[in-house]
């Protein structure tokens, strides 16, 4: 197959048997559930654009394993050009969906696991890399959406995994036998989990010897027996249940997060990619985090393009587009957005080849990219709210606009520029609301802070990789100070 059509992707999800709970009820048909479906549509776009010859260069790649054309989300980066195209692809998808399109985590996970398992096997004589390559071949051939699972609930942050009062607050091995392992625990904040075919679990932090049972990586079908999903709430999410379109803001696309619980999940040995090699857990976390922090320079810039455009349209509809302060705010939003993108491109262009042949980004610049992402989208959102005006959050509902009696009042008094219909003005203001406060804000505003690690996590990596001693030597040399 190599490349699924969007229709084949949707049909493949219908054949899966997920155990999903949403607002206290088990979901029997997640594909058509009104809250979940917009997120599925976002993933579906990654398949739609891959079929479009206009976007073939960004959306597809040539497999280094088979020589076949594959979706770029299933590809291992073979050059800095691949790293750059990844960021450009992510910006394109952000522009097309105005939301999180969810496949980035799996793409970043396979690239990190590839190089780390290769180096682990070289040093320890394990067989993890061969197992991973077997899985990757299947992923590429079937064009699978894979959910990368790293973040554990963590419990008491002052205690290590093995010190927790409840051992299940970190994913861990509870049994080993000739056939495989049994695991318990959970992964939190799982982006696109119920839109995925497989999951790729990784350790959440650098482990010490006493945390050996928690140094764990494996793959499993996303609907495997023993996995339960608890779907996360989002701001304004129940608007999708009201049978309206305008009030949702972005009715077609969205993202989602879920809590993924493992209740004595059995994993056969051929699907185990790390089991106790605690000394490599930190390296895997570092590389995955680096790839994912690079990703934000693409996807957040793409969604930022939509928000900047929405703010500019709102200014047009308000009759304020010619005001100098509005123009200046749009310039500032553009400056901040392009800075995010520039960092994503820079860490890609400065990438290098690992021992397995897969290319890794410049980790320092990737962390600088994500550090900017923890700040700039918030200012872009603030400026968008400023430009849109207070009506963005006091607007009457779509049902009021369509009401036979009060609809004329809403139409009359929520009018802006005379040539623009009130409905069009409502639509653009609801989009700004959605991107800054609503369901899409999860994948833009809040995720910018905590996705791919908290701001402090990036600052720690910047401190490690900033090479301060080298900078001191440069200064001493210029100042004429002898060592």
Q: Taking the complete model, does pTM exceed 0.85, yes or no? A: yes
Q: What is the pLDDT of residues 95-121, one digit of tens each?
A: 999 999 999 999 999 999 999 999 999
Q: Catalytic residue among 117, 191, 358, 422, which? A: 191
Supply φ then ψ for residue 60, to 5 degrees: -125, 165
**CB-based contact 226:195 (threshold 8 Å):** no
Q: Catalytic residue among 286, 398, 433, 447, which? A: 447
The answer to whether 257 is a known catalytic residue is yes
Range from 6-15, 305-314, 346-355, 432-441 carrying the lowest mean pLDDT: 432-441
**CB-based contact 145:192 (threshold 8 Å):** yes
Taking the domains of the chain in order of start, what are their residue ranges?
6-280, 283-474
CATH class of 283-474: mainly alpha
437: Cβ–Cβ under 8 A, 6 or more apart, which residues?
A: 235, 236, 393, 445
The answer to whether 104 is a known catalytic residue is yes
Pairs from 10-13 (Cβ < 8 Å, separation ≥ 24): 10/40, 10/44, 12/197, 13/40, 13/195, 13/197
Q: What is the pLDDT of residues 387-407, one digit of tens each?
A: 999 999 999 999 999 999 999
pLDDT of 119 reads: 98
The answer to whether 299 is a known catalytic residue is yes
pLDDT of 248 reads: 97
Average pLDDT for the chain: 97
DSSP letters, 225-243, are: TTEEEEEPP-TTGGGGGTT
Q: What SS3 class is residue 273?
A: strand
**CB-based contact 162:169 (threshold 8 Å):** no
Alpha carbons 209 and 196: distance in angstroms, whole number: 33
The answer to whether 291 is a known catalytic residue is no
pLDDT of 416 reads: 98
pLDDT of 446 reads: 85
Q: What is the pLDDT of residues 235-294, one digit of tens each?
A: 999 999 999 999 999 999 999 999 999 999 999 999 999 999 999 999 999 999 999 999
Q: What is the pLDDT of residues 16-42, one digit of tens each?
A: 999 999 999 999 999 999 999 999 999
Sheet holding 216-221, edge to edge: 146-149, 198-201, 216-221, 272-275
Q: Catalytic residue among 104, 275, 343, 369, which? A: 104
Nearest Cα residue to 308 out of 340, 342, 332: 332
Average pLDDT over residues 131-150: 98
Alpha carbons 153 and 278: distance in angstroms, whole number: 19
pLDDT of 342 reads: 98
Place of tokens 């960092």: 343
The answer to whether 292 is a known catalytic residue is yes
Chain mean position to CA 392: 27
CA count, 13 A, side-chain hemisphere, 184:
10
Nearest Cα residue to 291 out of 226, 348, 332, 333: 348
**CB-based contact 162:211 (threshold 8 Å):** yes
Q: Catalytic residue among 46, 97, 257, 374, which? A: 257
Q: What is the pLDDT of residues 320-359, one digit of tens each?
A: 999 999 999 999 999 999 999 999 999 999 999 999 999 9
CATH architecture classification, 6-280: Beta Barrel (2.40)
pLDDT of 175 reads: 98
Q: Please report, to the nearest 10 degrees, the dihedral formed by the alpha carbons of residues 333, 339, 345, 351 taken in order.
A: -150
Q: What is the pLDDT of residues 199-227, one digit of tens each?
A: 999 999 999 999 999 999 999 999 999 99
Place of tokens 């910006």: 91
DSSP letters, 1-60, are: --S--HHHHHHHHHT----EEETTEEES-GGG-TTTHHHHHHHHHHHHHHT-GGGHHHHE
The answer to whether 347 is a known catalytic residue is no
The answer to whether 191 is a known catalytic residue is yes
pLDDT of 443 reads: 87
**CB-based contact 203:217 (threshold 8 Å):** yes
Q: Catalytic residue among 74, 275, 299, 347, which? A: 299
Q: Catalytic residue among 100, 275, 343, 426, which? A: 100
Residue 441 has pLDDT above 90, yes or no: no
Nearest Cα residue to 329 out of 347, 312, 354: 312
Q: How far is CA 191 from CA 7, 363, 452, in A?
A: 21, 23, 11
Q: Catalytic residue among 292, 317, 374, 436, which? A: 292
**CB-based contact 372:335 (threshold 8 Å):** no
């Amino acid at each position: 197959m190599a490349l699924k059509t969007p229709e084949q992707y949707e049909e493949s999800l219908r054949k899966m048997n997920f155990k999903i709970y949403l607002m206290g009820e088990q979901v029997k048909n997640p594909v058509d559930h009104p809250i979940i479906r917009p997120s599925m549509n976002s993933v579906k776009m990654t398949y739609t654009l891959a079929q479009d010859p206009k976007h073939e260069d960004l959306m597809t790649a040539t497999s280094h394993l088979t020589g076949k054309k594959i979706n770029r989300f299933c590809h291992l980066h073979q050059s800095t050009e691949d790293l750059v195209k990844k960021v450009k692809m992510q910006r394109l998808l952000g522009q097309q969906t105005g939301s999180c399109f969810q496949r980035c985590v799996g793409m970043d996970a396979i690239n990190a696991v590839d190089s780390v398992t290769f180096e682990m096997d070289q040093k320890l004589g394990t067989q993890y890399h061969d197992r991973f390559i077997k899985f990757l071949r299947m992923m590429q051939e079937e064009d699978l959406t894979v959910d990368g699972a790293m973040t554990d609930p963590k419990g008491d942050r002052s205690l290590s995994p093995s010190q927790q009062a409840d051992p299940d607050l970190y994913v861990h091995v509870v049994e080993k036998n000739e056939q495989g392992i049994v695991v318990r625990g959970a992964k939190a904040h799982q982006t696109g989990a119920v839109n995925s075919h497989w999951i790729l679990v990784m350790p959440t932090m650098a482990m010490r010897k006493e945390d050996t049972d928690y140094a764990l990586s494996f793959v499993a079908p996303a609907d495997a027996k023993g996995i339960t999903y608890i779907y996360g709430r989002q701001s304004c999410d129940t608007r999708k249940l009201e049978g309206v379109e305008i009030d949702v803001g972005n009715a077609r696309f969205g993202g989602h997060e879920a809590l993924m619980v493992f209740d004595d999940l059995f994993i056969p040995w051929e699907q185990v990619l790390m089991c106790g090699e605690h000394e490599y857990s930190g390296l895997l976390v570092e590389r995955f985090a680096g790839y994912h922090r690079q990703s934000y320079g693409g996807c957040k810039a793409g969604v930022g393009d939509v928000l900047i455009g929405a703010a500019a349209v709102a200014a047009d509809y308000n009759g304020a587009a010619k005001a100098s302060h509005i123009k200046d705010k749009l310039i500032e939003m553009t400056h901040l957005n392009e800075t995010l993108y520039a960092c994503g491109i820079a860490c890609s262009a400065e990438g290098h080849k690992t021992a397995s042949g897969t290319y890794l980004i410049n980790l320092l610049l990737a962390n600088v990219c994500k550090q900017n992402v923890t700040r700039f989208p918030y200012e872009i959102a603030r400026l968008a709210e400023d430009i849109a005006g207070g009506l963005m959050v006091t607007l009457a509902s779509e049902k009021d606009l369509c009401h036979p009696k009060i609809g004329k009042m809403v139409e009359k008094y929520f009018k802006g520029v005379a040539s623009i219909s009130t409905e069009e003005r409502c639509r653009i203001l609801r989009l700004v609301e959605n991107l800054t406060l609503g369901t899409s804000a999860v994948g833009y505003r809040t995720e910018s802070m905590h996705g791919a690690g908290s701001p402090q996590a990036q600052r720690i990596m910047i401190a490690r990789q900033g090479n301060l001693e080298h900078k001191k030597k440069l200064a001493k040399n210029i100042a004429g100070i002898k060592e």
